[in-house]
Structure 1
């Protein structure tokens, strides 16, 4: 059974818990929405800052290379002067890996390290000679320095004429430092792509060394033998092969957008199944260069950790307030339920019959009023029980006197009733016997009437059957005549079928004759054609006639064969018809025999029906005599029964009156006994109450 205390505590806890939960959920939604936008803004700002830093770095390298292209010593194309200038530049600007100069023929004239060579077949040389514009090239990975490198190419002009090209290899290790600066290793990192989509700076340096390409989704890995040694080609270069890389579709999409000059912030699921927030930004390079791109990646769980911490703190605060609410609810409910429990205990004692209990609880609230009302109820109930006790004693005494009186009266009534009952029984027996005789006669009368009805119906039915039999006999005669006609028709059909068979045989013989004539004619036509051919030009006309005769003979032979086939089919059908006619004639003979038997049966039925009709009429006459005797017997029995019933009725009225009086006295006696029992039960019930 639920207690009031637990219900009060539950209500108080819910009153605190529900508002807290709703406010926390609403607050979490607001903070989460706002903070997500703030995180996206931070990611976008970070991407912009990195893009600006990369642009400044490349611009600086570009400007240095362009200044060298405008240097008079470089324009002079005197190798010693050129080399001196570029060596000073390489010492001054540590982020350069090498400078190299070549004429319009592609032959190098100076470089800071290595052997001079012909570069006319290199793609970068062909591009600048075709476009005649400076640009920053795609990157490559330097195996000697283990860093990504890009090149800046600037055309060299002398009085407006293109005289050569200066190139610089720029070390991109400073970009790696920028990337590592903005990557915290806790779910946030940044990487930079060149215009071809190749990674040039990434916290995971393996992606730089293996030239991860987020545009083609390929990477370049070293080819090794079974012992793990790197294989080399015939020129001594390390062998490499391309492998596929797997990136989310959304990342591939934003990479393409950034390289196309677009920027933005998106959410997607990475290869580990975690949600991330990514910002992408293009890096616009000077000259005739492709856009580079910077992409930030921040795990959403790490980015939104502040919101998660706020939610955890709110949950802890909610749990704390629930505990406080439980403690307060416990003491408050205890102060309310304690007096209620006290009153329940008193009521339980009163329910068991102890009317001496009284409540000692005093208060000005509703519980105090309940205590006063309880005391007043017990006092009034005690007075009521005492009154019932006195009344039950008086009822018990009166019911004893009434019981004795009714028993004496009932004995006298029983003696009178016995005498009247004997008279009534005699009259009743006589009336019953008379009534039984009347009932038997009436039943016999009804049976006789029913029998008369059945006999009349049988007579009518016999007449109907006789007339029906006559109609059937006439129908048999008609059927017999029709059957004779059918026999004649069958004979005629047999004759016709036999004639048809003979005619078909004659036609078949004629067709055979025609076929023979056609074959002979065909043979004569063939001989005529041969003779016409021998005659030459003189026999051509005769040959045509012979050919036509031959065709006619063939056609006649074919038609004759068709006729023979048809005649054969007709002959088969005629034979089948003959067999069928034989079966039909046999069936007709059987029908004739059945017809004769049916005719004889109808004659026998007609004789039997006539005999039945005569017997029914004889029974009907005898039954009329019995009905007349029945009416006289019924009249006598009805007179005897009427006198007996009047005598029995008078006796029964006296007996009924006596029985009613006796029954009334029995009822009074029974009620007196019940009243006495109830008075005793009431006294026993009152004893259960403790009054003093």
Structure 2
């Protein structure tokens, strides 16, 4: 590890703390000082704006009052040129800020002027506006060709007995405003004010170019007069200067300030324009009549306004640097004084680490360093005493090593015996587990045997019930056979009687055939006799013919009946034969039913014996199962005892094994300690105690 001086460790953080405190304190003081000074700048600028605003308002109000006073003057209201002109000329002489006074009649024709020729002004915008609104107002500023300065006009309607008589107008010279602005401006040090009218046009500004070119900060334009080849301003037919507008550029902050002050607001802020920062204060200048208020804006370059502050801060910074250097020197001296005793004690500790415990530190000081030296001396003394005791104990450790080895051998023998007992108990437990498994298999087979015995008993009972049902069915079948035999006998008797009746019908049919033959002969004879009788025998011939036809039909019907009787007799004969066969079969079936009845009786006796045997076998199986359960319980007890014994012996064996391992570990450590003790005895000879 790289060695680091405590002197440097103490010195560097203290220097860093002092520098950080100095920087923070300087920064806070500078911020407070700058903020306070900026507030003073805003206050001075606002006071200046208010002062200039008040002077301008006083100037315009005075001109407004003069105009108002003249507009109601009875001599002026005569509307006679010779009366008005002297008054106007005298007023201009007494008020040098008035450039021109003139009076217009209702038709726009001038009736009086302080100077110049009378002219028609009926087409001028101000005349039209005043005639329509009949209200006084101060116009926006404009550039005068005569004076080469910006001017403004005041217009007053004149009344005679509440009737509009004309318009009184005054053109004001605004050079007073320019001189006022120049008086309160210090362009060299970046501080100046300027005035704009209600349209945003510059009225007074330290830069005369902005006045001449009618800078309009609302529309962001400037009006430049066109020049002829001789460099003179060009004028139109009405004597007005021909001009053209050009764009000007200002920052958005500047535009916001212009909009705010033209809205009649007052305030202070900081802005940037053309790469420069400015402190800005602005105020509104309210005008009398129906006129838009004018505005004054005061700007002060931040670099100029804060120059004194920056110089002061530079001086303070240099003083802070000087103080930091002095503080670092003082800290270095103190750190050296504090760390020297610590370095000395460090050297003594190094000597002690090399084995010299006879060293002693000086205890002259009563501070923490002195206490540290005293504690070091006490520590060295205690370490020397401990090393002396360690030397004495080393011999005792070597003697204890031999005794511990004999104990290790005895514990090893005991552990081996307990381990053999544990193995035997474990084998006994395994054999008991095998017996339990076999008994469980036997128990399962007993269960299967009981289940099959129950099924066999149930089958025997079902067989007995089936035999009883079979006997009952045989009895019913025997009864049905007897009924069938009786019915067959009755049917046979009736068929025999039917056969006899058929024979009798055959005899009757023979008689009918004979009668039909004789009737036919009689009909033939009657026909012959009728033919002999001629015409008288025709009726008898018809009767004879009918009788002959009846005899023929009777003969045919008799033949059909005879044929049917023959077939019936043949069928009856066959039926008699079949009934004889059926009767013989019924008798054989009756004999077979008797034999089946005897068989079912024997089967029932056998099933009853089977039921008794199965019941006896089931009781025997239950007794065997109870004996098997008793054996299982006994074997499980033996297994549990063996398991407990195995667990106990295993625990004893493990405990003895752990003790043996512990003793072996202790013995090994004692051997190691013995070796270390020997080495320590050799090393102790190197120490100075």
Contact 2:151 2:172 in 1 (8 A): yes
The answer for the alignment partner of 2:261 in structure 1 is: 254
The yes-or-no answer on 1:675 pairing with 2:670 is yes
1:239–1:33: structure 2 CA closer, same or farther, 3 Å change rule?
closer
Q: Distance in 1 between matches of 2:658 and 2:385?
A: 40
The 3 A distance-change label for structure 1 pair 674 and 117 is closer
Matched residue, 2:367: 365
More divergent stretch after superposition (248-257 vs 106-115): 106-115
Q: Is the 8 A contact 2:22 2:320 kept in 1?
A: no
The corresponding residue for 2:144 is 142
Alpha-carbon offset, residue 21 of structure 1: 3.6
- For residues 493-544 of structure 1, what are the alpha-carbon distances to aligned partners after superposition, in whole Å with 9 as ceiling and x for unaligned? xxxxxxxxxxxxxxxxxxxxxxxxxxxxxxxxxxxxxxxxxxxxxxxxxxxx
Contact map agreement 1:83 1:110 (CA 8 A) in 2: no
Cα deviation, residue 141, structure 1: 1.9
Q: Which residue of 2 aligns with 1:238?
A: 242
Report the secondary structure of 1:359's partner residue. coil
Query: Among 267, 270, 280, which residue is 2:269 paired with?
Result: 267
Taking a change above 3 Å as real, the CA distance of residues 117 and 75 of structure 1, as seen in their structure-2 partners, is same
CA 266–2 in structure 1, closer or farther in 2 if over 3 Å, else same? farther
Q: For 1:527-546, what aligned pairs fall within 5 Å after superposition?
A: none
Equivalent residue for 2:501? none
Q: In structure 2, how many angstroms separate the alpha carbons of the residues matched to 1:124 and 1:152? A: 10
Report the 3-state secondary structure (helix = DSSP H, G, I; strand = E; otherwise coil) of the residue aligned with 2:264. Answer: helix
- The question of whether the paired residues in 1 share the 8 Å contact of 2:391 and 2:680 is answered with no
Shift of 1:446: 2.8
Name the structure 2 match of 1:184: 186
C-alpha separation in 1, matches of 2:426 and 2:55:
135
Rg (Cα) greater in structure: 2
Question: Is contact 2:152–2:173 with CA below 8 Å preserved after alignment?
Answer: yes
Structure 2 unmatched ranges of 5 or more: 462-609
2:365 aligned counterpart, secondary structure: coil
Asked if residue 383 in structure 1 is aligned to residue 378 in structure 2, the reply is no
1:367 positional shift: 0.8
Which residue is equivalent to 1:691?
688
- Measured on the aligned residues, the alpha-carbon RMSD in Å equals 6.4
The Cα shift of 1:349 comes to 3.9
The residue aligned with 1:25 is 28
Q: CA deviation at 1:211?
A: 3.8
Shift of 1:280: 0.2
Given the superposition, is the C-alpha separation of residues 105 and 357 from structure 1 closer, same or farther in structure 2, using an over 3 Å criterion? same
Instruction: Identify if the C-alpha distance between structure 1 residues 87 and 343 changes in structure 2 by more than 3 Å, giving closer, same or farther.
Output: same
Report what 1:498 is aligned to.
Answer: none
1:164 deviates by: 7.3
What whole-Å deviation, never above 9, does each CA across 1:11-63 have from its counterpart, x for those lacking one?
Answer: 5764785488468637844x566545543432232123323443565577678
TM score, norm. by length of structure 1: 0.54
SS of match in other structure, 2:297: strand
Q: What is the SS of the residue equivalent to 2:122?
A: coil
Query: After superposition, where does 1:292-311 map in structure 2 within 5 Å?
Result: 292-298=294-300
Q: Does 1:198 align with 2:195?
A: no
Inter-CA distance 147–381: structure 2 relative to 1 (3 Å threshold): same
1:341 is aligned to 343
Q: Do 2:236 and 2:242's aligned partners in 1 also have CA atoms closer than 8 Å?
A: yes
Kept in 2: contact 1:199–1:213 (CA 8 A): yes
The CA distance in 2 between the partners of 1:430 and 1:102, in whole Å, is 148
1:449 aligns with 443
- Aligned length, in residue pairs: 508
Give structure 1 stretches of 5+ with no counterpart.
259-263, 468-612
Q: 1:77 to 1:160 in 2, by over 3 A?
A: farther
Q: Which moved more, 1:152-161 or 1:676-685?
A: 152-161
Distance 2:49 2:190 in 1: 16
Secondary structure, counterpart of 1:257 in structure 2: coil
Alignment counterpart, residue 43 of structure 2, candidates 41, 47, 61: 41
Larger mean Cα displacement after TM superposition, 291-300 or 333-342: 291-300
SS in 2 for 1:120: coil
1:164-175 matches, cutoff 5 A? 167-175=169-177
Distance 1:27 1:183 in 2: 29
CA gap 1:3/1:40 in 2 versus in 1, 3 angstroms: same
Post-superposition offset of 1:155: 8.2
Match of 1:278 among 281, 304, 309: 281
Mapped partners of 2:6, 2:422: distance in 1: 76
